[in-house]
């Protein structure tokens, strides 16, 4: 009887370990099925850059300034992150033209409008990027046989539109 009572907890641990991968796999599959698909449309007042697969850096950061006398913290300068946009390479030269125009004529600053779109092309959210200019543009090869175009822009201000 004593050996039997020690055996049951061990069997329960083995059964739980065998069931865990199935549970984790099912949870991952369920997440992938229910994960919303979002497209990112980028346009300006006089141009349309098209649809992107990802956007990152839509954020704001406020520096903290500490008063040495009172040791109190106060808000300092507000900074906006660089915004990175990625998409499959299409051969469209509008991004590379904008990124390299500084070599020819001087860089033009543009206001960008980023719209997050649902799979049915309904707007979910939109952001206005004020006085943007590109700080990096590149094309990278992916496997198997695809290419990704990336542009990084900086701006004076990011505004969430409601």
DSSP 32: H
- Residue 28's pLDDT is what? 36
The answer to whether residues 4 and 69 belong to one domain is no
The answer to whether residues 140 and 71 belong to one domain is yes
The answer to whether residues 58 and 21 belong to one domain is no
The answer to whether residues 62 and 142 belong to one domain is yes
- Residue 18's pLDDT is what? 36
Q: Which residues pair with 62 in a beta bridge?
A: 78
> Helix count (H) and strand count (E) of the chain?
2, 10
The answer to whether residues 88 and 142 belong to one domain is yes
The answer to whether residues 5 and 58 belong to one domain is no
Label the pairing between strands 54-56 and 73-80. Answer: unpaired
DSSP 57-96: ---EEEEEEE-TTT--EEEEEEEE--EEEEEE-----HHH
Which residues of the chain are modeled with pLDDT < 70? 1-38, 102, 162
**Which range of residues forms the domain containing residue 23?**
1-35
Find the CATH number of the domain harbouring 82. 2.30.110.20
Q: How many CB atoms lie within 10 A of CB 116?
A: 17
The answer to whether residues 13 and 45 belong to one domain is no
Which positions ≥6 away from 94 have C-beta within 8 Å?
Answer: 47, 49
The answer to whether residues 77 and 101 belong to one domain is yes
Contact indicator for 87, 149 with CB cutoff of 8 Å: yes
The answer to whether residues 20 and 96 belong to one domain is no
- Residue 122's pLDDT is what? 82
The answer to whether residues 113 and 46 belong to one domain is yes
Q: Which residues pair with 140 in a beta bridge?
A: 148
Count the domains in the chain: 2
Contact indicator for 61, 76 with CB cutoff of 8 Å: no
Q: How many CB atoms lie within 10 A of CB 95?
A: 22
- Residue 162's pLDDT is what? 66
- Residue 8's pLDDT is what? 35
Contact indicator for 61, 75 with CB cutoff of 8 Å: no
The answer to whether residues 145 and 82 belong to one domain is yes
The answer to whether residues 87 and 68 belong to one domain is yes
- Residue 37's pLDDT is what? 52
């Amino acid at each position: 009887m004593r050996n039997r009572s020690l055996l049951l907890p061990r069997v329960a641990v083995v059964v739980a370990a065998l069931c865990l991968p199935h549970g984790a796999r099912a949870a991952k599959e369920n997440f992938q099925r229910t994960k919303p698909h979002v497209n990112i449309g980028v346009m300006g007042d006089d141009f349309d850059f098209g649809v992107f697969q990802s956007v990152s850096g839509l954020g704001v950061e406020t520096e903290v300034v500490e008063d040495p006398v009172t040791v109190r913290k106060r808000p300092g300068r507000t900074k906006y992150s660089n915004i990175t946009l990625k998409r499959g390479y299409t051969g469209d030269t509008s991004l590379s033209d904008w990124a390299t125009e500084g070599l020819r004529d001087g860089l033009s600053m543009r206001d960008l409008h980023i719209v997050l779109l649902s799979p049915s092309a309904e707007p979910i959210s939109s952001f206005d990027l004020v006085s943007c200019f590109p700080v990096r543009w590149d094309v990278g090869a992916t496997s198997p046989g695809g290419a990704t175009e990336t542009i990084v822009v900086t701006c004076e201000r990011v505004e969430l539109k409601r």
